[in-house]
Chains A and B, each alone.
Chain A
Amino acid sequence: MGVPTIGVSAVTMVRYATEYDFKYANGMPIRYVAVPFPVTGPTRAMHRAYVNGKDQLSGKPLMTAISDALTAPLTDSEKMTNTTEVQAQAEPRFLPPDTEDNLRQLFKDKEWTDYNPIILPTEERVKKMLAGTSHKPDEVVNADTFNAGRRELTVEKVAIAAVMAGAKPEYMPLLLAIMASGVPYGNSTSSMANAIIVNGPIRNEIGMNPGTNAMGPYNDANSVVGRFFSLCGKLAADLRNNVTAVESLGNNLQYNNLTVAENEEMLPEGWQPLHVQMGFKPTDSVVTIGTGWTYISSLGEVQPAYPANMLIADYMRSLSALGSAATLFVDPTVAGLLNNVNGYATKQDFSKWLAGKVEKTVASYWGNGVVMTSNNAMAIQGLAPYADWSKLRKESPDALIKPFNNPEAINIVVVGGAIQTTWFVTDFRLRRGTLVDDWR
């Protein structure tokens, strides 16, 4: 713009902007002033108090700090372009030798773990892990760009995290595909998390459990693969609490990342596995990763007087419908009832029915800040249906809308042991699957 410009935001955001983001992403030493958190939501009186209060960075009266930031001459440091003296040192391949106890403490101090015990990644263990793939250790699997700093994740770094998580070498193709998917490990000021859905022969090859207790702590592969994503995801994005990881509440799902194998063997006739729905062959091994926040259990068994389809639709009203996304995890018995009793010949049929059935008030839809931040831009551009929904927000906030306007974003995963007719409704938005076979 060519004119003096400053930023004003909540102190938490400003600290990130002036420290990590400035160093690794933005590169410009923008001047900020900070008000207390939150900025969005307080009353006018509270905002007035912010303006009449103090800058949370300098301690000066806020408006004095603003005046100073716009008038104080630029310093030599602010005019600086030479960065040679501040370049980060390359991380060495090995850590300095130390005792096992000290190394375990170091890994915790550096926030490289999930604070459960890890296996220390000796060269010998990592070498054994690398035998699980034909890919070379120095091959770059992905470069994390979601968090600032563009860290190049190599096959060797994935193997190191795999050792730490307790993985077996035969898990490596799946672990590499997870990291190659490009889906970032959930990190937001909101409580973002991930879901990992595995399809195809790899499920049985590594002994994943798609049956009874599929979502509980009863299987090595389900548990370790899910844990691996937390360890490797944190390392790939350099996530550290209150430095780069800033979820206000966090999300307990991040201990296992909702890692499941679809129970393909128990799908009703006509219902395709998730990866086949995406265009992969049934014999392909595929991992699909989702991003979301919400995980709601049906609690009890299905009742014929108010069957699963109706109750699922009710529960979906509490989802944000961001991107029209929902992922349902249903027991094979529920899938059977939906197919045989309720007449949904395919998963897609049920998704279409839900898209036409689920309603919520326009006020509730826009009441979600993430939806508002993301979708209001489309409303401003006049795009349907968001422009109409935005208009209704002011004119008729109690009007009912059908927020799941894209049935293709409503996914159904059949998983579980056919012991109880239960299901989970979630708001996970699935990316296209990644071929595990490419990483064998």
Chain B
Amino acid sequence: MNRFRLFNPLFAMLALVFATCTPAVISAGEKITVMNPAITTKIAQRLPMTAPRLDTLEGKTIYLIDNQWGGPEGAYQLLEEMQNWFAENSPGIKTVLRRTKGNMFTDDPELWQEISERGDAAIVGVGQ
């Protein structure tokens, strides 16, 4: 017991020296604060759908448009098969199959105008 008492102050001094000489480390359970690498993402301006839906497709003209993602054959054959399906199963629906001018990144206002004037609905096929 006496020996233990004698060693106590010595042990405390050694512990103090050790503590002051050892660099601070984060213990496993200690909480730290770090900076947030994520960047705020802006939500797009919401655009409403405005074109009223059709009561029926019967008797209407549907444009099938390939926007040429993947080139001129991008979605074209798929749309041809849709056109065939309409001809076989809904002959009362007229279909017009077209490609956009340019590629997927280019606008085609003339085609949009044509659809607006002569079409009742459109299906835009995107290759990939």
Chain A interfacial positions (CB closer than 8 Å to B): 1-10, 12-13, 22-30, 35, 37-42, 44, 47-48, 50-52, 63, 66-67, 70-74, 78-83, 86-101, 103, 107, 110, 112, 120-123, 126, 148-153, 156-157, 160-161, 164, 189, 231, 235-236, 238, 366, 369, 372-374, 376-377, 380-381
For the complex of A and B, 7 pairs with smallest distance between CB atoms: A372-B71, A40-B70, A27-B44, A149-B41, A9-B126, A377-B103, A151-B39
Q: Is B14 an interface residue (CB 8 A)?
A: no
A-B contact pairs, 17 of them (CB 8 A): A1-B116, A3-B51, A5-B51, A6-B123, A24-B42, A24-B44, A40-B74, A42-B77, A51-B85, A78-B48, A91-B40, A92-B36, A94-B33, A94-B34, A98-B31, A100-B28, A161-B37
A51 and B81 contacting across the interface, CB-CB below 8 Å: yes
Contact residue among B26, B49, B78, B102 (Cβ-Cβ distance under 8 Å from A380): B102
* Interface majority SS (helix, strand, loop, mixed), chain A: mixed
In the assembled complex, which residues on chain A have CB atoms less than 8 Å from the CB atom of B55? 71
A91 and B116 contacting across the interface, CB-CB below 8 Å: no
Whether A380 contacts B37 in the complex (CB less than 8 A), given A39-B70, A47-B78, A51-B85, comes out as: no
Which positions 43-90 of chain B face chain A at CB distance < 8 Å?
43-57, 62, 68-75, 77-78, 80-82, 84-85, 89
Max count, chain A CB within 10 A of own CB: residue among B35, B73, B105, B119: B35
A71 and B74 contacting across the interface, CB-CB below 8 Å: no
B43 and A39 contacting across the interface, CB-CB below 8 Å: no
In the assembled complex, which residues on chain A have CB atoms less than 8 Å from the CB atom of B11? none
| Chain B nearest Cβ from A98, distance in angstroms | 6
In the assembled complex, which residues on chain A have CB atoms less than 8 Å from the CB atom of B32? 97-100, 103, 120, 122
* Docked complex Cα distance between A366 and B74 (Å): 13
Interface string of B85-103 (1 = CB under 8 A from A): 1000100000000000111
A236 and B33 contacting across the interface, CB-CB below 8 Å: no
| Chain B nearest Cβ from A107, distance in angstroms | 8
In the assembled complex, which residues on chain B have CB atoms less than 8 Å from the CB atom of A373? 68-71, 74, 103-104, 127
* Docked complex Cα distance between A103 and B48 (Å): 40
B56 and A71 contacting across the interface, CB-CB below 8 Å: yes
| Chain A nearest Cβ from B71, distance in angstroms | 3
B39 and A93 contacting across the interface, CB-CB below 8 Å: no
In the assembled complex, which residues on chain A have CB atoms less than 8 Å from the CB atom of B85? 51-52, 63
A86 and B116 contacting across the interface, CB-CB below 8 Å: no
Whether A70 contacts B46 in the complex (CB less than 8 A), given A39-B78, A157-B39, comes out as: no
B51 and A2 contacting across the interface, CB-CB below 8 Å: yes
Number of B interface residues at 8 Å Cβ cutoff, please give it: 67
Across the interface, name the chain A residue whose C-beta is closest to B38: A91
* Docked complex Cα distance between A164 and B57 (Å): 57
* Docked complex Cα distance between A177 and B67 (Å): 36
* Docked complex Cα distance between A39 and B106 (Å): 20
Across the interface, name the chain B residue whose C-beta is closest to A81: B48
Q: Is B128 an interface residue (CB 8 A)?
A: yes
In the assembled complex, which residues on chain A have CB atoms less than 8 Å from the CB atom of B33? 94-97, 122-123
In the assembled complex, which residues on chain B have CB atoms less than 8 Å from the CB atom of A22? 44
In the assembled complex, which residues on chain B have CB atoms less than 8 Å from the CB atom of A377? 68, 102-103, 105-106
Max count, chain B CB within 10 A of own CB: residue among A37, A96, A153: A96
Q: Is B15 an interface residue (CB 8 A)?
A: no
| Chain B nearest Cβ from A87, distance in angstroms | 5
Across the interface, name the chain B residue whose C-beta is closest to A8: B125
A88 and B31 contacting across the interface, CB-CB below 8 Å: no
* Docked complex Cα distance between A27 and B55 (Å): 26
B123 and A8 contacting across the interface, CB-CB below 8 Å: yes
Whether A70 contacts B53 in the complex (CB less than 8 A), given A1-B122, A10-B128, A97-B31, comes out as: yes
B46 and A376 contacting across the interface, CB-CB below 8 Å: no
A112 and B38 contacting across the interface, CB-CB below 8 Å: yes
| Chain B nearest Cβ from A281, distance in angstroms | 34
A1 and B42 contacting across the interface, CB-CB below 8 Å: no
| Chain B nearest Cβ from A335, distance in angstroms | 38
* Docked complex Cα distance between A412 and B127 (Å): 35
A112 and B34 contacting across the interface, CB-CB below 8 Å: no
Across the interface, name the chain B residue whose C-beta is closest to A234: B37
